[in-house]
Amino acid sequence: MQRLVRKAVFPVAGLGTRTLPATKAIPKEMLPVVDKPLIQYAVEEAAAAGIEQFIFVTGRNKTALEDHFDHAFELEHTLEQRGKTDALNDLTHALHKEGRIVYTRQQRPMGLGHAVWCARDIVGDEPFAVLLPDELLLSEPPCLKQLVDVHQETGGSVISTMEVPREQTSRYGIIDAGGASGSVVEVQGFVEKPDPAVAPSTAAAIGRYVLVPEVFAELSKGRTGAGGEIQLTDAMANLIGRRPFHAQQFDGQRFDCGNKLGYLEAILVYAAQRPDLRDGWLDIVRRHADAHFSKD
């Protein structure tokens, strides 16, 4: 029996430069998709996978994110007094028991691997998840739940992958794939942002991981990779052959909300999924499509 995955790390120290000027004063993880911020979607996905402790690796100017997962007593009292039960329930739904959400700070911007390393003492010696909140993943069951299930069967690390056009491999960590069993593939190698001409495949890692604690020893070496940063993919690659390493092919919709078009697409799709908004929202989309995009 594999140890349960109980803890998840959320690297949220980034500056959000791709979504400026909106993210000048608010964290990119607090950008709303319909009526919930990106970080709440990620936390809900983690909770649905059985995660019990949520570790945020923050940076400067992230207090709005911390406040979101805390009580707003005056607001809650006002909603209660006015009988706005639904709004109050929506507000408190994001809260977790004391001690379940933990914060630590990444003091220097040294890459994703360094951000994950900053959580090492909180995670301890057990498997853990990593979720990148600006990647919004829509699937059933949720993406992280799929990875946790694979980990329970195989042990070792498990990542989520999706196929990308070969000309885009230089944007992602790309796996060298081995034998497959259904949608689960053995990972034989991992290359961070390879040139399309030499990329071992077009299977790209997306922002969900289940990792074994041995990855912290690799990250502690402080070796820099692509972009002069400490790359999580390099540390994971060094574990191949020592611990099982698998990839789960993602079957769902991915929205890169760190990209303006990806963010707009996420709002479009998530609003259409809402029973209380769907009809009105689709009517708005159709009217504006006819007005602005129809052919002359």
Write down the pLDDT at residue 98.
Answer: 79
User: Are residues 198 and 135 in contact, defined by beta-carbon separation less than 8 angstroms?
Assistant: no
* This prediction's pTM: 0.91
Q: HSE-up of 60 (CA within 13 Å, CB side)?
A: 6
296: pLDDT strictly greater than 70: no
- What is the rounded CA–CA span in Å between residue 175 and residue 161? 9
Q: What is the pLDDT of residue 99?
A: 77
Q: Which fold has domain 7-258?
A: Spore Coat Polysaccharide Biosynthesis Protein SpsA; Chain A (3.90.550)
Closest C-alpha to 236, from 162, 159, 135, 149: 159
pLDDT in tens, 16-56: 888 888 888 889 999 999 999 999 999 999 999 999 999 99
Q: What is the pLDDT of residues 183-235, one digit of tens each?
A: 899 999 888 888 899 999 999 999 999 999 999 999 998 787 777 788 898 89
The total number of residues shown for the chain amounts to 296
124: Cβ–Cβ under 8 A, 6 or more apart, which residues?
A: 213
Task: Write the pLDDT tens digit of every residue in 85-129.
Answer: 888 888 887 778 777 899 999 888 888 999 999 999 999 999 999
Q: Cis bond leading into 200, ω under 30°?
A: no
Domain boundaries, the chain: 7-258
